[in-house]
Structure 1
Amino acid sequence: MSSLPIFDVAGSAMSAQSMRLNTIASNLANAESVASTAEGAYRPRQPVFAAVAMAQQPSLTGVQVTRVEESKAEAVKRYEPGHPLADADGYVYAPNIDPVAEMVDLISASRGYQAGVEVLNTAKELALATLNVGR
């Protein structure tokens, strides 16, 4: 909690985007993983955001990750009879992850985080300029 609420608002946005970046990285890291059953396959995750009133000033709104949801999409069934995890019919199950869509989401989250950094830098410069007015 700072004396300038803009830092709290921008910080909440950066925290939410950081969580989004982490879940995307997890999804991309597991995109090519396979399992021997559909239930055992990795499920892509997505954070859910919510607007929250700032504690210091309820008239301002920040953002918070309320939960991380797993996708309900079915696992992709691939025929790979030579794979060590293949079931009796020769199938392995991979997560239903589109790496291109995840990369687009990653770029969006990265730009959102960068925007928060820019807000913090601009607010800091304005605060310093205001302090230097009296000199």
Structure 2
Amino acid sequence: MELDNSIAVSASGLRAQSLRMRVIAENLANSDSVATTAGGDPYRRRVSTFAAEVDRATGATKVSVKSIDGDQSQFTRVYQPGSPAADAQGYIEQPNVNPLIEAADMKAAQRSYEANLNAIESARGMTMRTIDLLK
């Protein structure tokens, strides 16, 4: 039964990291999305946060998505007077997405995903060896 719990915990980690990678991919895809009108906001970077959640049925602590919030850091201003999103001074606001940070976050999410996958594979292997011993 403990192996089932470990698999369930790792599976919740897989789901959480998969969602994290999707949010990061969305951030990277929208890193150049500026407002279409003057005074509008460009794309705001999104960040996923997680929380520990106890499964009442098994007593295992799983990972759950707490929220996906917009990053409240400042937008960068770039001088582009010909843009439809330019203000009276000719500046536009660019998204607060830093591709280098997103790449580092993606790598961390990938490593965590792989660790959870390896834990599931190990639990599966132990289950198979136990079944072989019982034959």
TM-score (norm 1): 0.89
Residue identity opposite 1:65 in structure 2? V
User: Greater CA deviation, 46-55 or 105-114?
Assistant: 46-55
Corresponding position of 2:58: 57
- For structure 2, the 5+ residue unaligned runs are none
Deviation at 1:41, TM superposition (A): 1.1
| Distance in 1 separating the partners of 2:38 and 2:15 | 35
Corresponding position of 1:82: 82
- Kept in 1, the 8 Å contact 2:31–2:99? The answer is yes
How is 1:20-31 mapped onto 2 (pairs within 5 angstroms)? 20-31=20-31
Identity of aligned residues (%): 33
| Distance in 1 separating the partners of 2:107 and 2:133 | 39
Deviation at 1:87, TM superposition (A): 3.1
Residue identity opposite 2:76 in structure 1? V
Deviations 1:20-53 (A, max 9, x none): 1011111111112212456521111111100011
How many residue pairs match? The answer is 133
Corresponding position of 2:110: 110
Whether 2:99 is the aligned partner of 1:99: answer yes
Corresponding position of 1:42: 43
Corresponding position of 1:122: 122
Over aligned residues, Cα RMSD in angstroms?
Answer: 1.8
- Kept in 2, the 8 Å contact 1:5–1:56? The answer is no
Deviation at 1:56, TM superposition (A): 2.8
Divergent runs of 4+, >3 A = 36-39
Residue identity opposite 2:65 in structure 1? V
| Distance in 2 separating the partners of 1:16 and 1:103 | 18
Residue identity opposite 2:48 in structure 1? P
Residue identity opposite 2:119 in structure 1? V
